[in-house]
Amino acid sequence: MNDVYLIGIGQTKISKNAGIRGRYLSAEAVSKAIEHAGIEKELITMFITGNMMSGILTQQQQLGALTADACGFRGVEAATVESACSSGASAARWGFMAVAGGLHKAVIVCGIERMTHATREDTTAALATAADWELEGCYGESFISLNAKIMRLYMDTYGVDAEDFAHFAINAHDNGMTNPNAFLHKKIDFDTYMNSRMLSDPVKLFDAPPVCDGAAAVIMANEEVARSAVRSGLPLIKISGSAIGTDSLALDARTDKLKLSGVEISTGRAMDQAGVKHADIDIFELHDAYTIISSLSLEAAGFAERGKGVHFGKDGEIALNGKLPISTMGGLKSRGHPVGATGVYQLVETYMQLTNTAGENQVPDPEIALVQNIGGTGATVVSHILQRA
């Protein structure tokens, strides 16, 4: 395989922009990525779009060709990738394979999602299509209710209380305060978390992500193109591991409801590819859509023992200067979770960390990061290892 490098990043500020069409959000992110990469547009011969709900909420499919055209890439190879909330990272996986396999020298990956133009009821129903419709969706289950089931089972199994999840939300909101592109610039404390509105017992308002809009883009390239790019003194960032792990969509069909097998599988594969160990990881940019998913991800990825992931970080381990920083730019909780774009935002933010350009959110001199994006309640899990070359 060819080595693959991340050479350009772009993102829009996450917001509620109901009047702005997705193609224009994408164009903003893509133009920033091209300018940042410092390469000629003609070198880019593939355009991959990650999106989950455009066909449902805006009656628009074929975003690959549509977005490529809107961004000035008419005629290039283009397609859309969908894997629920992990659509952005799955699109990045396609981009990685295209460059690694030698089919393309440089590709653009763009994640885009518009959610706020629709009613909350329609958006909730659209999100629920990531669950198993036959076994869950048609019975009225939503992502909130499904995560509530997991959280309740975790609490009952391991004897923990709602308050034990607070530090994940507090940490994310602390970091989101200094991310200019974050949706929620709202600092919270323990009392704010505990007194927040109950969504579906035991999931409270600050256990869940906000509905929002956004687009992010990255440019991946082979070594030849990467080294020819205008670097401005920045180190090269290599994607040294890329993998997808899957599990059943339906919770009741899983062998173990409190084990994210997709996380375990994709983490192991990506780390093996990169030749790194857990002790080598300086940042774990996990999928913190719900605080219970943060707990289970830390366990399945191998950073915490089973039943103890919920306690990881209570002594500052997950802070920017901690042992294993997470949600470094606010995560899905505070930066926001425009679902099809989230995985690309994670890559953008991790690139910033590894190049020491994350401003007030900078982790002290990181070299290797694990970036993880989850579709559904764990059915599709995409993991990438990024490191300084």
Which residues does the annotation mark as catalytic?
A: 85, 337
Q: Look at strands 237-246 and 380-388 and give their pairing.
A: antiparallel
Beta strands of 267-343 (E only): which ranges?
A: 283-285
Bridge partners of residue 220, in order along the sequence: 6, 107
Nearest-10 Cα torsion for 224, 92, 322, 267: -110
CA distance 278 to 92: 23
CA distance 139 to 19: 33
Q: How many helical (H) and strand (E) elements, i.e. helices and strands, does the chain have?
A: 13, 11
Bridge partners of residue 60, in order along the sequence: none
Provide the H-helix boundaries in 159-218.
166-176, 190-194
Q: Please give the structure tokens belonging to residue 270.
A: 């990506």
- Of 215, 222, 217, residue with least CA distance to 239: 222
Q: CA–CA distance from 347 to each of 131, 153, 185, 286, 331 (Å)?
A: 25, 32, 21, 11, 12
- Let me know: does 71 contact 47? Beta carbons within 8 Å: yes
